[in-house]
Amino acid sequence: MADRADNRDAVLLAPIERTGAGFYWAVGGLALLILWGAAAYSTQFTSGLGVTGLHQPVSWGFYVTNFVFFIGISHAGTLISAILRLSKAEWRRPVTRMAEVITVMVLFIGASQILIDLGRPDRLLNILRYGRYQSPLLWDATSISAYLTASIVYLYIPMIPDIAILRDRLDRRKLLYSVLAMGWRGTARQQTVLNRAIAIMAVLVIPIAVSVHSVVSFVFSMTLQPMWHSTIFGPYFVVGAIFSGIAALIVAMIIFRAAYGLHAYLKPIHFRYLGQLLLVMAALWFYFTFAEYLTGYYGSEPEEMKVFWSKFTGRFWPFFWAMVLTNFLIPVLCLVRLGRRTIGKVLIASLSVIVGMWLERFIIVVPTLSNPRLPFGEGLYWPTWVEWGETAGSFALFALFYLLFTKLFPVISIWEIREGREVGLKEVEERLLTYLPDPAELGPAESSAAEVT
């Protein structure tokens, strides 16, 4: 097998073979945040949701915001991996594995946010026993289960050849790698099976992903509340999800590029392309946001305007305008010219978008609840240490899962990189030739024109 002798990609296996001090520092830091989160949740579990800042009317706050946010980030894997695979974009090769891992890990965190939000998590089985499909929460449960299953399958299948490399090369964890490698030997038939399965999954996972964030949006848009009951929510949330997903992916790529020395694989061109995608999503997100608020403003319905002004000039104006700044202005300024300092600009834009998209979820959830239709006072939501701790712990837990994954499996798909080297160039050249006009009967004018070109 070529991979035994091929040490060109040794750097991709290095994190699995050796562990440096940096890893332990990182785990230590994350563990502290997770401990904070765990302490926060255990307080909440014993005393009740009263330890948060939630009240009537703002009965949904950080937890639901985090839920939407984390599920949104899960769209990273789908877009990059599936769509780029289907469009045969060669630059996807070092990126797909990281994207797929984000999806799987963040779905666990995202789904658990809803569990954390429940007043009676001990009654969780009631969803199984008495679930009502008329409720958008059940649509969520089904859709997220489907997406989680599909993502795990879609992550695992392309990992099989890499696991086989680990099985053959490493001495540690022989049992794990042997089991997971599914008897991979790189035969032609196995390759066909693998490629076919990946192609099917790439097609299947896209509509599932779109459905996931659409049903998350339906949790809000299926109510009658002002600025929630909007038909744009489905596509709006999906666009926002892809937007935040790309940003998260870029940040993950930059972190691991630096930590594991992957500069040879994750080159500025990859970040340039992802940065351009991020720019397009920023414009698209802005378009949806603009359409949403313009419609509300033009109609001037009193209940909607109450919420509208609350966001624009009222209690929530710092968050709203911070959202516009971090979600649109900063990314666009950073990303329009990606010639020099590509990675720095893209990093700033991505971090900005992550903050901005979290703020966007917050701005959707809380102001509407804060301004009830009937003449109650405006709700004043102040999150407590419990909610901050839970948020920090969730981010840290996601980072920890991701980090542990990179210790067990290669974070860049080794066999796909090799495939790119061996067959990619030829395939692309053949494909390009099919785009060019056929050398059919040329008249005298065209043949001289053809000679000129």
Partner 1 sequence: MSRAAEVPERIVRGIQWGMAAGFVCFIGGIIVWIIHLIRTAWRLGDIPSASIGISLVAIPVFLTLLSVGFYVFWGLLTDRSER
Partner 2 sequence: MARWGMVIDLDRCTGCQGCVIACKAENNVPAVGAKEAVRGRIISWMQVLTEVEDHDQSGEKMRFVPRPCLQCDDPPCTKVCPVYATYRNPEGIVAQIYARCIGCRFCMAACPYNAKYFNWYRYQKEGPGQNPDVSVRPKGVVEKCTFCHHRLQRARDRALAERRELAPGDYVPACAEVCPARAITFGDLNDPGSEVSRLAHSPRAFRLQEELGTKPKVIYLAEGEGRG
298 contributes a contact to partner 1 by CB under 8 A: no
Assess contact for 245 and 77: CB atoms under 8 A. Answer: yes
Q: CA–CA separation, 357 vs 349, rounded Å?
A: 12
To the nearest whole angstrom, how small is the minimum distance from the Cβ of residue 191 to partner 1? Answer: 10
- State which of residues 43, 59, 112, 142 lies at the interface with partner 1 (CB under 8 A): 142
107 contributes a contact to partner 1 by CB under 8 A: no
Assess contact for 110 and 74: CB atoms under 8 A. Answer: yes
Q: CA–CA separation, 387 vs 62, rounded Å?
A: 6
Taking CB under 8 A as the rule, which mask of x and - marks residues 144-163 in contact with partner 1? -xx--xx--x---x--x---
To the nearest whole angstrom, how small is the minimum distance from the Cβ of residue 398 to partner 2? Answer: 23
Nearest to 274 by CA among 190, 217, 331, 201: 331
139 contributes a contact to partner 1 by CB under 8 A: yes
Helical pair 233-260 and 385-408, crossing angle rounded to 10 deg = 60
DSSP result, 151-184: HHHHHHHHHHHHHHHHHHH-STTHHHHHHHTTT-
Around Cβ 140, how many Cβ atoms within 10 Å? 19
Binding partner of 120, given partner 1, partner 2, none, CB within 5-8 angstroms per partner class: partner 2
Q: CA–CA separation, 260 vs 404, rounded Å?
A: 14
- State which of residues 175, 374, 440, 445 lies at the interface with partner 1 (CB under 8 A): 175
Binding partner of 375, given partner 1, partner 2, none, CB within 5-8 angstroms per partner class: partner 2
- State which of residues 28, 87, 122, 189 lies at the interface with partner 1 (CB under 8 A): 189
To the nearest whole angstrom, how small is the minimum distance from the Cβ of residue 365 to partner 2? Answer: 9
Instruction: Give every CB contact of residue 336 below 8 A, 6+ residues apart in sequence.
Output: 279
- State which of residues 126, 231, 295, 313 lies at the interface with partner 2 (CB under 8 A): 126
Residue 8: CA count within 13 A, CB half-sphere: 10
305 contributes a contact to partner 2 by CB under 8 A: no
Residues contacting partner 2: total by CB under 8 A: 44
**Identity at 334, one-letter amino acid code:** C
Place of tokens 């964890």: 173
The two most distant CA atoms of the chain are separated, in Å, by 88
To the nearest whole angstrom, how small is the minimum distance from the Cβ of residue 67 to partner 2? Answer: 11
* Region 140-169 residues binding partner 2, contact defined as CB under 8 A: 141
Query: Phi and psi (nearest 5°) for 93?
Result: -55, -45
- State which of residues 83, 91, 169, 251 lies at the interface with partner 1 (CB under 8 A): 169
Which region, judged by CB under 8 A, interacts with partner 2, from 6-14, 274-282, 316-324, 368-376?
368-376
11 contributes a contact to partner 1 by CB under 8 A: no
**Identity at 256, one-letter amino acid code:** F
8 contributes a contact to partner 1 by CB under 8 A: no
Assess contact for 205 and 151: CB atoms under 8 A. Answer: yes
Both tokens assigned to 251: 């940040």
Binding partner of 70, given partner 1, partner 2, none, CB within 5-8 angstroms per partner class: none
Binding footprint of partner 2 on the chain (CB under 8 A): 47-50, 53-60, 114, 117-121, 123-124, 126-127, 130-132, 134-138, 141, 219, 222-225, 369, 372-376, 379-380
Binding footprint of partner 1 on the chain (CB under 8 A): 1, 4, 128-134, 138-139, 142, 145-146, 149-150, 153, 157, 160, 168-169, 171, 174-175, 178-179, 182-190, 192-194, 196-197, 200-201, 204, 208
